[in-house]
Structure 1
């Protein structure tokens, strides 16, 4: 029973986790929007800010060669998958790309990792500038479970309390965190609520991802 619970609460990179199930549902919604908006125009150029190759491997749109995806991270990632390439860059400064360089800018759970509201604003402006369309997702600050730690309500705690819980107990997915990793996450994560997210993307439609009647995450898009 405990092992099943740990699997359910594991990172969304783990296929049996709750986060992975939500990711699959989100990607299905994304695929529907892409098919509807870009029918007859494939392949389209996509910039995935903070994306990894394993996120896309096995996805129908990539397998069908409907997407040509550029993965952007702080360091270039070795990629040997048709339809995927990788570049080094900064989400808050995409000056290597002219306006409208991509048919679509995609980002999944990245904008909350940028330390400050100023950096989040910069990323939002850059995503809208370089992409003709965009699909940007982030967790909801007011969802009861903080998604990075799988702990309830710790987003409202002083960071010193959360650091203690992460490094001195096994309450976070049954594991103790390395202190350096815990501090890094506590420093960089700034969760957004719906009002803040809408302010970053004022012209976007906001798609609410629900769990038990509560909004777990938001996606801003203009598809």
Structure 2
């Protein structure tokens, strides 16, 4: 098996463990809510929730509104049970009232929203829209960026090296890139975060790492409705 293939297999393992954790969080938060449990998924897709489990959402009487800035990412969202809905929107500024939802969820999105100021706007919306949230993102100091799995250490290289490599090789899901502008656009659209930056963005959350071979691979920021957060796992 190739290195990217091994990484993909391990990523699938982490996704499965993440799903278990997310289901536990939803069940815990569900206990305080009467009526339907409302989840906002910022930047998500329907296939993610099919993996989490439509039967599970049904058992929790949970509805999911998926908001994505690209309409093509929302194709196939409708489901026969009416548990999934979709809207096009900008996560840096959403037209929903404070605490319109019971849980805000985001998986591997915040690294794509732009500058740090854009990330601050994104985080502010996440924190504003529900009493509880769950935000996952790849960790900058893990040696493999999941967006470019074929070249370890790629995201630590100088920018001038990276766009040249993208123009010559297929390092991620697309490529090689045909021209510099396209390569630069892809690089600028993915900026990973470290622990201190996530702490700044989500000061009221518990942060915890997902580890691979003892190294932090990604960061999850969680806030519960009770705000009785568990001890932070912050020894990186």
* TM superposition score category, shorter chain reference: 0.7 to 0.9
For 1:132, what is the secondary structure of its paired residue?
Answer: coil
Counterparts of 2:200 and 2:144, CA distance in 1: 23
Q: Unaligned 5+ residue runs, structure 2? A: 225-236
Identify the residue that residue 111 of structure 1 maps to in structure 2. Answer: 110
Alpha carbons 1:74, 1:89 under 8 Å: kept: yes
Aligned mates of 1:44, 1:182 — CA distance in 2: 41
CA distance, structure 2, for counterparts of residue 65 and residue 109 of structure 1: 24
Q: Is the 8 A contact 2:177 2:183 kept in 1?
A: yes
What is the RMSD computed on CA atoms of the aligned residues?
A: 2.1
Q: Which runs of 5+ in 1 are unaligned?
A: 11-16
Aligned residues: 213
Distance 1:164 1:205 in 2: 39
Which aligned runs of 4 or more in structure 1 are off by greater than 6 angstroms?
none
Residue 14 of structure 1 corresponds to none
Q: Which residue of 2 aligns with 1:186?
A: 187
2:161 is equivalent to residue 161 of structure 1: yes
Q: Answer 1 or 2: which has greater strand percent.
A: 1
Which shows bigger deviation, 206-215 or 54-63?
54-63
| Aligned partner of residue 98 in structure 1, secondary structure | coil
- Counterpart among 72, 78, 81 of residue 80 in structure 1: 78
CA contact (8 A) 2:168 2:177 kept: no
Partners of 2:61 and 2:138 in 1: CA distance: 28
User: So what's the TM-score if we normalise by structure 2?
Assistant: 0.82
User: Are 2:9 and 1:8 aligned?
Assistant: no
Give the deviation of 1:99 after TM superposition: 0.4
Query: 1:191 Cα deviation (Å)?
Result: 0.9
Given that 1:133 and 1:221 are in contact with CA atoms closer than 8 Å, whether structure 2 keeps it comes out as: yes
